[in-house]
């Protein structure tokens, strides 16, 4: 088997990505390139979250959010998205704040 050398750490691997081994590549290139703005608004009166002119209970919205984020996220062409999770959803004033956790495979 012909092995290639990672330009960064010198590891001998079967396949390089942009000249790097998988470990170095994942450190160098972040999988999430961009997240387009998602217009969300929390209503303090009804305690619901507005998205695209529809109001959702928070519990319901949490189940919809991964699919909404998938439509707005830009994954680097180096990766394929495996899993996407939403963490630490918080309501601050009228804003809905959350973290996005992704699991990706190198192409
Ligand atoms: Zn490396």
Instruction: Please state the rounded mean pLDDT for residues 13-29.
Output: 93
Local structure of residue 64 (DSSP, 8 states): H
Quick one: pLDDT at residue 1?
Answer: 73
How is the chain split into domains, by residue range? 1-28, 31-106
> How far is 88 from 101, CA to CA, in rounded Å?
10
Instruction: Please state the rounded mean pLDDT for residues 74-102.
Output: 95
8 A C-beta contact, residue 101 and residue 87: yes
Tokens of 70: 């998938």
Cα of 7 vs centre of ligand 1, distance in Å, is: 7
Helix (H, G, I), strand (E, B) or coil at 47: coil
> How far is 38 from 36, CA to CA, in rounded Å?
6
Cα of 107 vs centre of ligand 1, distance in Å, is: 16
Cα of 23 vs centre of ligand 1, distance in Å, is: 6
Instruction: Please state the rounded mean pLDDT for residues 23-36.
Output: 93
Give the largest CA-CA distance in the chain. Answer: 66
């Amino acid at each position: 088997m012909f092995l290639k050398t990672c330009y960064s750490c010198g590891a001998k691997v079967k396949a390089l990505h942009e000249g790097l081994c998988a470990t170095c590549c994942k450190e160098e290139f972040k999988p999430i390139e961009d997240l387009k703005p998602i217009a969300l608004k929390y209503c303090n009166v009804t305690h619901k979250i507005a998205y695209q002119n529809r109001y959702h209970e928070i519990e319901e919205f949490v189940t919809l959010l991964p699919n909404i984020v998938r439509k707005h996220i830009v994954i680097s062409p180096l990766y394929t998205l495996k899993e996407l999770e939403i963490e630490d959803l918080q309501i601050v004033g009228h804003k809905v704040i959350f973290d996005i956790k992704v699991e990706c495979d190198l192409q």
